[in-house]
Amino acid sequence: MSSYQQSIKSQNKKQILQLIIDHAPISRSAIAKQLGMAKGTVSSLSTELIGSEIIYEYGPGSSSGGRRPLMLLFNEKAGYSIGIDVGVNYIMGILTNLRGEKIAEQKQTISVHDFDYMLPLIIQSIQKLIDASPPSPYGIIGVGVGVPGIVNHQGSILFAPNLGWEQVDLQEELENAFDVPVTIENEANAGAYGEKKHNSSSHLSDNLVYVSAGIGIGAGVIINGEIYRGEKGYSGEFGHMMIDMNGRKCSCGSVGCWEMYASEKALLLEAEKVLDSAEGLSLESLIDQAEINPKVTSLFTEIGDCLGSGISSILNVFNPQKVVIGNRLALAEPLLSEPVKAAIDRHTLNFHKEQAEILFSSLTPYSTSLGASHFVTERFIATNF
Ligand SMILES: [Zn+2]
């Protein structure tokens, strides 16, 4: 077979597999019809895919009403993918099948961010997820990691200000430790992808911004169905959008950054002042206290106001169909929702707010880990079949 024929064959096979992933159960003749391929081609390529155990056939065969065709299905249990969300105060890891369904999870709360301290914790978390994976033809197909920082196209973490990491090669460390492909992504990009792929209400949104509001703030921007990464992969650092030229000092070296006013970090710093104590302060404890302490309620109102004001800039610039607010602050939706919406209403251009839908993520806290795991699965499918 010539290399040209090889490449046509491989393209056809990919198309068949993708159709089965998207539309299973589906018969061979329906595939032939939809893709405009000869039945013989579909038949021989699906036999190869069945041999690779990435699809399987199922069906009653003949029935009283005549012969019913055998259906082809995607074998989502052919392998398992791992998605890790490295937060500033947590590490969240999930094991998913090839459809992105969660099989197991691992969560740790952390307070120290040195890379040398965190790396063993990340490795431990991955190992536990590997141990939890059922036997399968392809085993662990890879690990995807979302980190709160600037990641270049090669997967190196150049700068993660809230972790204090600079020039860290997490990908190489993890590939050495586990000998599987590792993908590193900015956590907000991974979160945006998680929303796009796994949130049924966002599935059809081709222009979507995911605002990851944790200790810091990042935003993943999906334009025309694709993640916008920028020239070198550095885009999405919305947390460092300046909202006050003479404002609070930020960990990035600048002042007045959005995340100094609208993040979990800002909430905790302000709460410390208002409550005169940092003891036992956490987002969760503040959510509880807000029910009884009006001072704490108004802290959330202030944070929501700043969060909404920043989102209005995103709406004015990108005109997305949808903005999804995710990560830790989404846990405070009942307290933030009103002030966020009021601020957006005040600051957004009329045309831009007409159709924009603003919602809190229903995938919280899994948006980033799901997206990271999905990147791995897509790469596995693209390179192996
Ligand atoms: Zn900054």
Q: What is the pLDDT of residues 316-346, one digit of tens each?
A: 999 999 999 999 999 999 999 999 999 999 9
Distance, CA 254 to ligand 1 centroid (Å)? 5
By the 10 Å C-beta count (0-12 exposed, 13-18 middle, 19+ buried), 12 is classed as middle
Per-residue pLDDT of 39-86, as tens digits, reads: 999 999 999 999 999 999 997 655 555 667 889 999 999 999 999 999
Contact, 218 vs 236, CB < 8 A? yes
pLDDT of 60: 66
Return the number of other C-beta atoms located less than 10 Å from residue 103's C-beta.
Answer: 15
Contacts of 251 (CB under 8 A, 6+ apart): 161, 162, 164, 216
Distance, CA 174 to ligand 1 centroid (Å)? 29
pLDDT category at 192 given cuts 50, 70, 90 is very high
Per-residue pLDDT of 133-142, as tens digits, reads: 999 999 999 9
Distance, CA 250 to ligand 1 centroid (Å)? 5
pLDDT of 61: 53
Region of 228 on the Ramachandran plot (φ > 0 left; ψ -120 to 50 alpha; else beta) = beta
pLDDT of 200: 72
Contact, 220 vs 212, CB < 8 A? yes
Distance, CA 157 to ligand 1 centroid (Å)? 17
Contacts of 15 (CB under 8 A, 6+ apart): 35, 37
* Confidence check: pLDDT of 147 > 90: yes
Distance, CA 303 to ligand 1 centroid (Å)? 17
Per-residue pLDDT of 29-41, as tens digits, reads: 999 999 999 999 9
Distance, CA 24 to ligand 1 centroid (Å)? 46
pLDDT of 338: 97
∠ CA 42-45-50, nearest 5°, is 115
- Any bridge partners for residue 168, and if so which? 157
Distance, CA 261 to ligand 1 centroid (Å)? 11
Residue ranges near ligand 1 (ion) with Cβ within 5 Å: 240, 250, 252, 254, 257
Contacts of 350 (CB under 8 A, 6+ apart): none
pLDDT of 51: 97
Distance, CA 323 to ligand 1 centroid (Å)? 22
- Give the span between the Cα atoms of 197 and 18, in whole angstroms: 15
- The alpha carbon dihedral of 329, 335, 210, 76 has a sign of positive
pLDDT category at 208 given cuts 50, 70, 90 is very high
pLDDT of 314: 95
HSE, side-chain direction, 13 A CA sphere, residue 313: 14
Distance, CA 211 to ligand 1 centroid (Å)? 16
pLDDT of 64: 52
By the 10 Å C-beta count (0-12 exposed, 13-18 middle, 19+ buried), 1 is classed as exposed
Distance, CA 164 to ligand 1 centroid (Å)? 13
3-state secondary structure of 94: strand
CA torsion angle 9 15 21 26 (round to 10): -90
Distance, CA 276 to ligand 1 centroid (Å)? 26
- Give the span between the Cα atoms of 376 and 15, in whole angstroms: 19
By the 10 Å C-beta count (0-12 exposed, 13-18 middle, 19+ buried), 258 is classed as buried
**Beta strand spans in 65-118 (E):** 66-67, 71-74, 80-86, 90-96, 102-109
pLDDT of 279: 81
The chain-wide mean pLDDT, for the chain, equals 93
Distance, CA 89 to ligand 1 centroid (Å)? 18
pLDDT of 67: 67
| Cα 30 → chain centroid | 33
Distance, CA 177 to ligand 1 centroid (Å)? 33
Distance, CA 127 to ligand 1 centroid (Å)? 34
Distance, CA 259 to ligand 1 centroid (Å)? 7
Distance, CA 267 to ligand 1 centroid (Å)? 16
